Chains A and B, each alone.
Chain A
Amino acid sequence: MQMPKTNVTLPNVVNTATKERKKKRYTGVTIVYVGLIVYFIVIAYPLLWMIISSFKSTDEIFTHSWSMPHTWLIENYVTAWKSGISSYFLNSVIVTSASCFLTVLVSALGAYGLSRFEFQGKAFVLIICLGGLMLSPQVSLIPLYSIIQKLGIYNTHLALILPYVAYRIPLTILLIRAYFLSIPKELEEAARLDGCTSFGILFRIFIPMSTPILLTTTILTAYYTWNEFMFAIIFIDDDSLRTIPAGLMQFRDALQTDWGVLLAGLTISAAPIVMLFLFMQKYFIRGIANGSVK
Chain B
Amino acid sequence: MLKRNKLTPYLYLLPAFAFLLLVYIPIFQNIWDSLYEWSTFSPDKVFVGIDNYVHLFKDPVFYQALKNNILYAVISIIFQVGGGLIVAAVLEDKLIRKFSPFFRTVYFLPVVVSMTVIALLFTFFYNPEVGLLNQVLKMIGLDSLAKPWLGDSNTAIYAVIAVSQWQSIGYIAMLYVVAIQKISPELYEAAEIDGANKFKMFFHITVPQTKEMTFVAVILTLTGAFTVFNEPYILTGGGPGTSSEVLSTYLYKTAFSKDMMGYASSIATVILIITLLISLVQMKAFKTGKEDA
A residues bordering B, Cβ < 8 Å?
A: 4, 28-29, 32-33, 35-36, 39-40, 42-44, 46-47, 49-50, 53, 61-62, 65-66, 106-107, 109-110, 112-114, 116-119, 122, 125, 128-129, 132, 134-147, 162-163, 165-167, 169-170, 173, 192, 198, 223, 226-227, 229-230, 234, 244-246, 248-249, 252, 259, 262-263, 266, 269-270, 273-274, 276-278, 281, 284-285, 288-289, 292-293
Contact A169-B271, Cβ < 8 Å, known A43-B166, A163-B22: no
CB distance from A18 to the nearest CB of B (A): 13
Binds A, one of B105-113, B142-150, B153-161, B185-193: B105-113
Residues A143 and B30 in contact, CB atoms below 8 Å apart: yes
- B164, CB-defined interface residue at 8 Å: no
CA A139 to CA B216, docked complex, whole Å = 22
- B19, CB-defined interface residue at 8 Å: yes
Residues B106 and A4 in contact, CB atoms below 8 Å apart: no
Contacts between the two chains (Cβ within 8 Å), count: 242
Residues from chain B with Cβ under 8 Å of A40 in the complex: 103, 106-107
Contact A143-B8, Cβ < 8 Å, known A163-B22, A266-B117: no
Contact A144-B120, Cβ < 8 Å, known A36-B90, A270-B113, A285-B178: no
Write the chain A residue with the least CB distance to B22. A166
Which of A109, A128, A227 is most buried by chain B, counting CB atoms within 10 A of its CB?
A227
Residues from chain B with Cβ under 8 Å of A50 in the complex: 121
**B4-48 contact mask (Cβ, 8 Å, vs A): 1 or 0:** 101011111101110111111111011001000000000000000
Contact A285-B130, Cβ < 8 Å, known A229-B230, A245-B114, A248-B117: no
Residues B175 and A136 in contact, CB atoms below 8 Å apart: no
Residues A114 and B33 in contact, CB atoms below 8 Å apart: no
Which are the 6 A-B pairs with shortest beta-carbon distances? A113-B12, A140-B26, A227-B114, A110-B16, A117-B9, A143-B26
Residues from chain B with Cβ under 8 Å of A289 in the complex: 174-175, 178
Residues from chain A with Cβ under 8 Å of B10 in the complex: 113, 119
- B248, CB-defined interface residue at 8 Å: yes
CA A40 to CA B173, docked complex, whole Å = 14
Write the chain B residue with the least CB distance to A162. B22
Residues B229 and A32 in contact, CB atoms below 8 Å apart: no
Q: Which of A62, A138, A277, A292 contacts B130 (CB 8 A)?
A: A62
CB distance from A44 to the nearest CB of B (A): 5
Residues A116 and B112 in contact, CB atoms below 8 Å apart: no
Contact A274-B271, Cβ < 8 Å, known A42-B166, A43-B106, A292-B216: no
Residues A119 and B6 in contact, CB atoms below 8 Å apart: yes
Interface residues of B, count at CB 8 A: 86
Contact A113-B9, Cβ < 8 Å, known A106-B15, A266-B120, A289-B174: yes
Residues A144 and B26 in contact, CB atoms below 8 Å apart: yes
Task: Other than A138-B227, A229-B115, give 8 A-B pairs with Cβ distance below 8 A.
Answer: A43-B166, A109-B12, A116-B2, A117-B1, A132-B24, A138-B271, A145-B255, A226-B114
Residues from chain A with Cβ under 8 Å of B198 in the complex: 28
Contact A118-B220, Cβ < 8 Å, known A110-B13, A169-B19: no
Q: Is the interface of A mostly helix, strand, loop or mixed?
A: helix
Contact A292-B175, Cβ < 8 Å, known A163-B22, A269-B117: yes
Binds A, one of B52-60, B70-78, B203-211, B261-269: B261-269
- B183, CB-defined interface residue at 8 Å: no
Residues from chain B with Cβ under 8 Å of A135 in the complex: 23, 27, 272, 275
Residues from chain B with Cβ under 8 Å of A263 in the complex: 121, 124
CA A192 to CA B4, docked complex, whole Å = 11
Residues from chain A with Cβ under 8 Å of B95 in the complex: 4, 29, 32
Contact A110-B27, Cβ < 8 Å, known A32-B96, A47-B109: no
Residues B275 and A144 in contact, CB atoms below 8 Å apart: no
Residues B2 and A278 in contact, CB atoms below 8 Å apart: no
Residues A142 and B16 in contact, CB atoms below 8 Å apart: no
Residues from chain A with Cβ under 8 Å of B1 in the complex: 116-118
Residues A109 and B15 in contact, CB atoms below 8 Å apart: yes
Which of A192, A198, A252 is most buried by chain B, counting CB atoms within 10 A of its CB?
A198
- B223, CB-defined interface residue at 8 Å: yes
Write the chain A residue with the least CB distance to B28. A143
CA A114 to CA B109, docked complex, whole Å = 35
CB distance from A177 to the nearest CB of B (A): 11
Residues A139 and B275 in contact, CB atoms below 8 Å apart: yes
Which of B33, B121, B251, B272 is most buried by chain A, counting CB atoms within 10 A of its CB?
B121
Residues from chain B with Cβ under 8 Å of A274 in the complex: 109, 112-113
Residues from chain B with Cβ under 8 Å of A39 in the complex: 87, 107
- B63, CB-defined interface residue at 8 Å: no
CA A262 to CA B127, docked complex, whole Å = 15
Residues A106 and B30 in contact, CB atoms below 8 Å apart: no
Contact A125-B248, Cβ < 8 Å, known A44-B106, A139-B26, A143-B29: no
Which of A110, A141, A146, A166 is most buried by chain B, counting CB atoms within 10 A of its CB?
A141
